[in-house]
A and B are shown apart, each in its own frame.
Chain A
Amino acid sequence: MKKIVITIKKKSQSKKEKFNTIREFLIKHANSIQKLATQQHKIFLGGKKFRSEIIDKYQKFHIDIVREFANNLNPKSIKRGSKVFNQIGVSLAQEAVQDGLTIEETVDGTIFLKQAVWKKLEEDGLFELTTKEYHELNLVIGTYCDIVASRIAFTYHKERQLIEGNLSFLAEASRILSSSLDYQTTLNTIAKLAVPHIGDWCTIDILKEDNTIQQVAVAHKDPKKIKWAKELRKTDPPDMNAPTGLPNVLRTGKPELYPVITDELLVKVAKNKEHLKLLRTIGFTSAMIVPIFSQKTPIGGITFVTAETRRHYNQADLLMAEELATRASVAIENARLYKGSQDAITVRDEFISVASHELKTPVTSVKMFTQVLKKHSEQIGDKKAVVHLTKMDKQLNKLTELIYDLLNISKIQAGRMEFREEIFDFDKTVKEVTDVLQHSETKHTIVVQGITKKKIRGDEERIGQVINNLVSNAVKYSPKSNKVVIKLRSDKTTVYVSVQDFGIGMEKAHLNKIFERFYRVYDTTDKTFPGLGIGLYISSEIIKRHGGKLWVDSDIGKGSTFSFSIPVNGEKFLKKTQKI
């Protein structure tokens, strides 16, 4: 080992001179002492290595400790020394907790440092101390090491508790934020949750469109103080041009941390004497403000303040607060998107409602003229005109049905489709609907087989709409056939209806999808059939609301059979209807 030559006059030196020499020696060799300590520490740990950035970080701490040993060697300066080492212990522990070091790893570093100091002093042969001087030096350095170690232990434990608390707070906050899309309520819950764990005060503010700040949540353990804070906000709103505080955070999007709120700071931010008096009364200790973002633009802030608990915030607390703000940002963003989509749906539904009304007006007028012309043609015996006008009238009816479908689908989507509750004769309804259809149907014969002999509780018009839709489909998809068969049957609780056509049929792949909204079967070999693809969707919704089932069986080239069943008593129908 390299011998460092230090020239001192051994015998003639006073204690003061000796201590001075040692002080200079320690300062000069702080680096090599630290290295020696780390080496010892590594051997002790059995070859386990720390990450290099952690070694670098604690090197600095340990070099500082050696220097502070040196600066406070004199027993008279032990009071100052104690303070310094206390602070080093706190900082070391806080960092160690953040870095995930164990308490032993953190404390051991200091103990090896003490040994390294003595080893270095012994190796370089500087000892010409009297026994008394030796004990004095040992006592001073030992005391400092003990202070650092005990402060590390104490702080480490406290910091761990805080971090664990922060983690569980964040987890709980996330749960609350994702529980509802009403962010005003969730933010209020978050603010309450933050007190007293994160601070004595927590307020959440959102920037409004007119560039003023709206306090959406304020929490403190004392409800009187909350009331007071809310009133204060009304009578004394924040100055949006203030160079610091929430307005600045909202401008810059950068958080602010005030580990210690000094009286000078209060004087600086106070608007006037009264305000200053007020601020002093609250007794602020520490504060932090973190921004809430929407698409990278600050739209609000969360402010944490400690007062009576005297806690001081540090970088770790700020990180936690920023994490909370990020999660709140996501929740607010989701809520806004949801509201936007809901607003758009409302606008769409209103538009469809108005549009369908407006569409029906000219159709009504055209229909009247068509029928007048048709009657006239009948009277004068113009058969050709009657045929053409009958076709025209039929097309107008189709147009009307399409308009109703549009309106119905928007109502189903909004969950606002109205159902009337009445008791009706099921067989009679089937007959009425099929009679009307048969009346305008020239090619297909609609055959009704069987009877249910049941009275049903439900909406007659809607059930009629389903039968109408199924029979119309059957006709439409069996262009080469001339028959549609409706079969009716019932048991004690249920009526069953099937509508069979002898048409083109469907591939199995379509069967599950045809009840979906806007689904249409595109046939590559055959021609496609016109339609919006919503008839079956509406029908299946109507049957569902009646507590029934709608299903299909189909064979390509042979035809399809659509069937539905609905309960007679309508108990399920009633329950569902009340919800709408």
Chain B
Amino acid sequence: MIKKIYVVDDDEGILDGFQVMLESEGYHVEISQNADMLVNLPKNKIPDLIILDILLSGQDGRDICTQLKNNPNMKRIPIIMVSAHPNAEKSVQNCGADEFLNKPFEIDDLLKKIKKYNKPTKTLV
């Protein structure tokens, strides 16, 4: 069951949007403008799903994704990568991301992708 979602994007407006939108859908949302916190999360803070932007200031979301997927504590957490870059979809194939969404996107498309990672028998919230 997806309850807690961690969103990393370097744009405040986007983070704000994610927070309002996902919280209105009943998720618990953590936001961050950089991925440092995410990489070093203590076990009890690990989210159920991660939304990760590709072009972060000073960081490449794809590298972060690879790091997370190599981390035994984190590797099972689904990661949805998002980007406004038109060719980004191709480039995420090698970093282990589970899903990709082009910005801007329809909320319903995002919610569908999130719900894919719910256990099939349970319903959301």
Contacts and interface: CB of A to CB of B under 8 A. Distances in A.
A and B associate in one complex: yes
Contact of A365 (B13, B85, B106): B13
A330 interface: no
A464 to B, nearest CB: 14
Given A361-B13, A361-B14, A363-B104, A368 B87 contact: no
A368 B20 contact: yes
A364 B84 contact: yes
Given A365-B11, A404-B86, A372 B107 contact: yes
Nearest to B55: A357
B42 to A, nearest CB: 29
A365 B86 contact: no
B14 A371 contact: no
Contacts of A428: none
Nearest to B10: A361
Contacts of A369: 17, 20-21
Given A371-B107, A376-B24, A396-B104, A364 B85 contact: no
Give the contact-size bracket for chain A: 20 to 34
Contacts, number: 57
- Size class of the B contact interface (CB-based, 8 Å): 10 to 19
B98 interface: no
B60 interface: no
Nearest to B53: A361
A168 B84 CA distance: 59
Nearest to B12: A365
Contacts of B13: 361-362, 365
Contacts of B103: 360-361, 363-364
A371 B103 CA distance: 14
Contacts of A366: 17
Contacts of B84: 356-357, 360-361, 364
B87 A365 contact: no
Contacts of A356: 84, 86
Given A360-B103, A361-B11, A368 B86 contact: no
Contacts of A361: 11, 13-14, 84, 103
A375 to B, nearest CB: 7
Nearest to A407: B86
A371 B85 CA distance: 22
A368 B18 contact: yes
Contacts of B16: 365
A362 B103 CA distance: 10
Interface string B66-89: 000000000000000000111100
A418 interface: yes
Interface in A368-413: 368-369, 371-372, 375-376, 396, 400, 404, 407
Nearest to B15: A365
Contact of A400 (B17, B21, B24, B104): B104
Contacts of A372: 17, 20-21, 24, 107
Nearest to A358: B84
Given A357-B85, A369-B17, A407-B86, A364 B24 contact: no
A520 interface: no
A389 to B, nearest CB: 12
Given A369-B17, A375-B24, A364 B86 contact: no
A573 B14 CA distance: 38
B117 interface: no
Contacts of B14: 361, 364-365, 368
A367 interface: yes
A371 B20 contact: no
Contacts of B20: 368-369, 372
A369 B106 CA distance: 11
Contacts of A363: 103-104
A233 to B, nearest CB: 45
A418 B90 CA distance: 11
Given A368-B104, A371-B21, A372-B17, 9 more contacts: A361-B11, A367-B17, A367-B104, A367-B105, A368-B21, A368-B107, A375-B107, A396-B104, A418-B87
21 contacts: A356-B84, A360-B84, A360-B103, A360-B104, A362-B13, A363-B104, A364-B17, A364-B105, A365-B13, A365-B14, A366-B17, A367-B17, A367-B104, A368-B14, A368-B20, A368-B104, A371-B106, A371-B107, A375-B24, A400-B104, A407-B86
List 7 A-B pairs, minimum CB-CB distance, nearest first: A368-B17, A360-B84, A365-B13, A364-B104, A364-B103, A371-B107, A365-B17
Interface of B: 11, 13-14, 16-18, 20-21, 24, 55, 84-87, 103-107
